[in-house]
Homo-oligomer: A and B are copies of this chain.
Amino acid sequence: MRPSRLRVALAQVNYTVGDLAANAAMVVERTRTAVAAGADLVAFPELTLTGYPPEDLVLRRGFRSASRAALEKLAADLAAEGLGDIAVLVGYVDDADGPRNALAFVHRGDVVARYFKHHLPNYGVFDEQRYFREGYRFVVVRHRGVDIALTICEDLWQDGGPFTVAGRLGVGLVVNINGSPYERNKDDLRLPLLRRRSAEAGAPVVYVNTVGAQDELVFDGDSMVVSADGTVVMRAPQYVEDVYLVDVDVEAARSPIDAPAPQFVDMTVDRHESADQRPSADREPIEAVCAEPLPYEAEVWGALVTGLRDYVRKNGFRSVVLGVSGGIDSAVVAAIAADAIGGEHVYGVSMPSSYSTEHSKSDAAELAERLRAHFRVVPVAPMIDQFVSSLSLTGLAEENVQARVRGTTLMALSNAEGHLVLAPGNKSELAVGYSTIYGDAVGGFGPIKDVPKTLVSALARWRNADAVHRGENPPIPENSISKPPSAELRPGQLDTDSLPDYEVLDPILERYVDGDQGVAEIAAAGFDATEVERIARLVDHAEWKRRQYPPGSKISHKNFGRDRRLPITNRWVE
């Protein structure tokens, strides 16, 4: 091999599931940018044309064949637009020989090669074995004199796959396209993994991930290029949609294109070549972006803002409405919403009942003012009183009816004015069932449903401090952060009347819910066994409520959604 250089464009883009025409148009536009910058190839994320994850749409024959047709049309359109000379790597659903999660190499109007994903994840939120057949061929395309190996997402995470083969065979570059959902601390895993794989492949690895959100999944991007010696040559900022350029030093191919694969390569090798084998132009190298990953709270906040913004935008809403109680949860949700779509599109509703404290009303008003959000007060006591007297309600029934009158009020405002209703529940509450179904659980989206209460507080403090740091007004009233949590459904009620402190509760929940640990295992880690047992039962008994909770952005290893599939009817007690 001999040294060469390729100018690579990483298209860290935001697509929409099902919108094949718009996604294809976006590919054309972003390719235009890459061409203008002189790139030799541009790589788009996993399932670019269909969006990811398309879920059961893949079971529809019409959808699968539309995806394949969209690819053929895209190849022709790129050539017709004068964008044929760049290699375009784009994900799509193939259908010619069973449904496949596929990556096409497009050049001069032709689909030069198609790679089918080998490793189909079928854990966590992923169900790819439900949809796709596994690929088993190693695909390498020679372009501008460089052998480029194609891989998709999970192929990176499994040992002994195409990266090993790339190393044995000798290639100049490996491209890995991704729809890799955000999880807290996941970027701590990505870079070491990429370093391992690029060493294995003996070549730089181009890792392209999507940004944006799809229902519960948020994609942070974090696209990068890592050279064989582990150097990060380029790293894109998280959550920012753009085309990122980098000149990558590669080894040019020396073996003839029809050379047989060595015997020790235990995978069928498909070799292709594009119509352009001129070496890449010799020119001044460009300076690539090398962003640092965001600090912890900023990264989580970014995920929550992105998740909400895309849910609103991609589902055709323009505004959101939520109940603002003066408490921290609704304050954080409102602040996320203001960051996502602007305070002028956020409608806060204070719904005081006879048990609401004065400060809860004033804190809510202050929040709205700081966010420049709309604000109104709807006294719900008359509706509550009517229910309580008509049905002679007391105790839990009376507490719940307050929350349900508020939920009904928000839905009425949504019906009348067209806002998306946001549910303010956090993960700790959802876990133990500390919420009223059809009450505060009402909504089309639950922005913090995967955020434990202690992290809600940390985010509130971080967001305020960050504002101060930038010379802005902190969005969340200090009082909402500092006062003890209360549902205010009876006089003097506090969360700690029925739950342990969140500093105690959250670590137990993290082990029981996210970690699938048993009661004995958790107690052995130093927690009070009786308390753990009680918490575990609360979690188990709230499963039916969670099943009816709105979707919300996943930020943890295991969210309450596609990630955690427990039976409602369940007598398992350890």
Residues of A at under 8 Å CB distance from B?
16-20, 22, 53-57, 59-63, 66, 122-123, 127, 129-130, 214-215, 310-311, 314-315, 378-379, 382-383, 386-387, 390-391, 393-397, 400-401, 404-405, 407-409, 411-413, 415-416, 437-438, 442, 444, 516-518, 520-521, 544, 547-551, 562, 564-574
Residues from chain B with Cβ under 8 Å of A59 in the complex: 516
Distance in angstroms between the alpha carbons of A544 and B317 in the assembled complex: 14
Given known contacts A378-B390, A382-B390, A386-B382, is B53 in contact with A567 (CB within 8 Å)? yes
Task: List chain B residues, Cβ under 8 A from A544.
Answer: 315, 444, 550-551
Q: A215-B567, A549-B548, A570-B17 given as contacts; is B408 within 8 A of A393 (CB)?
A: no
* Extra 17 A-B pairs, beta carbons < 8 Å, given A393-B415, A407-B438: A18-B573, A20-B572, A56-B566, A62-B574, A63-B574, A122-B122, A214-B569, A314-B569, A314-B571, A315-B568, A383-B387, A387-B409, A395-B416, A408-B408, A444-B544, A547-B550, A551-B568
> Which of B19, B383, B411, B413 meets A572, CB within 8 Å?
B19
Question: Can you spell out 23 A-B residue pairs with CB atoms less than 8 angstroms apart?
Answer: A16-B569, A17-B572, A20-B572, A56-B566, A57-B570, A61-B518, A62-B518, A62-B520, A62-B521, A122-B129, A129-B129, A215-B567, A314-B569, A315-B568, A315-B569, A382-B386, A387-B408, A395-B416, A404-B408, A411-B437, A444-B544, A548-B549, A551-B568
Q: When the two chains form their complex, are residues A61 and B378 in contact, meaning their CB atoms are under 8 A apart?
A: no
Interface contact A570-B18, CB-CB below 8 Å: yes
CB distance from A154 to the nearest CB of B (A): 14
Q: Is the CB of B438 within 8 A of A416?
A: no
A383 contact set on B, CB distance < 8 A:
383, 386-387, 390
Q: Which residue of chain B is the closest to A380 with respect to CB atoms?
A: B390
Contact status A567-B400, CB under 8 Å: no
Give the complex CA separation of A311 and B572 in angstroms. 16
Give complex CA distance A529, B386 in Å.
Answer: 48
Q: How far is the CB of A93 from chain B (nearest CB, A)?
A: 11
* Distance between A210 CB and nearest chain B CB, rounded to angstroms: 14
In the complex, A391→B411 CA distance in Å?
Answer: 11
List B contacts of A378 (CB < 8 A).
390-391
Once bound together, how far apart are the Cα atoms of A547 and B446, in whole Å?
13
Q: Is the CB of B548 within 8 A of A550?
A: yes
Q: How far is the CA of A407 from the CA of B59 in the complex (A)?
A: 35
Contact B411 A571 (CB under 8 A): no
Closest to A315 in B: B569
CB distance from A312 to the nearest CB of B (A): 10
Give me the 10 closest cross-chain CB pairs, A-B, nearest first.
A18-B572, A62-B518, A397-B415, A19-B571, A18-B571, A397-B416, A404-B408, A438-B438, A18-B570, A314-B569
- Chain B residues with CB under 8 Å of A438's CB are 407-408, 411, 438, 442
Are the CB atoms of A569 and B411 closer together than 8 Å? no
- Distance in angstroms from A418 CB to nearest chain B CB is 11
A571: contacting residue among B16, B66, B517, B569, CB under 8 A = B16
Q: Evaluate whether A567 and B18 lie within 8 angstroms (CB atoms) in the complex, with A393-B416, A415-B397 already known.
A: yes
User: Which B residues touch A521, using CB under 8 A?
Assistant: 62
Knowing A386-B383, A444-B544, the reply to whether A215 touches B412 (Cβ < 8 A) is: no
CA distance A569 to B315 in the complex (A): 6
A54: chain B residues at CB < 8 Å are 567, 572
Name the residue on B nearest A396 (C-beta). Answer: B415
A123 to chain B: which residues have CB within 8 Å? 130
How far is B551's CA from A544's CA once the two chains are assembled, in angstroms? Answer: 9
A442 to chain B, nearest CB (A): 6
| Chain B residues positioned under 8 Å from A409 (CB to CB) | 387, 391
Chain B residues near A57 (CB-CB < 8 A): 566-567, 570, 572
Minimal beta-carbon separation of A241 from chain B (angstroms):
17
Q: Which residues of B contact A394 (CB under 8 A)?
A: 416
Q: Are B391 and A569 in contact (CB under 8 A)?
A: no
Chain B residues lying within 8 Å of A19, measured Cβ to Cβ, are 571-572
| Given A129-B122, A571-B18, A61 and B516 contact (CB-CB distance below 8 Å) | yes
- Min CB distance, A413 to chain B, in Å? 7
A548 to chain B, nearest CB (A): 5
Q: Give the chain B neighbours of A61 by CB distance below 8 A.
A: 516, 518
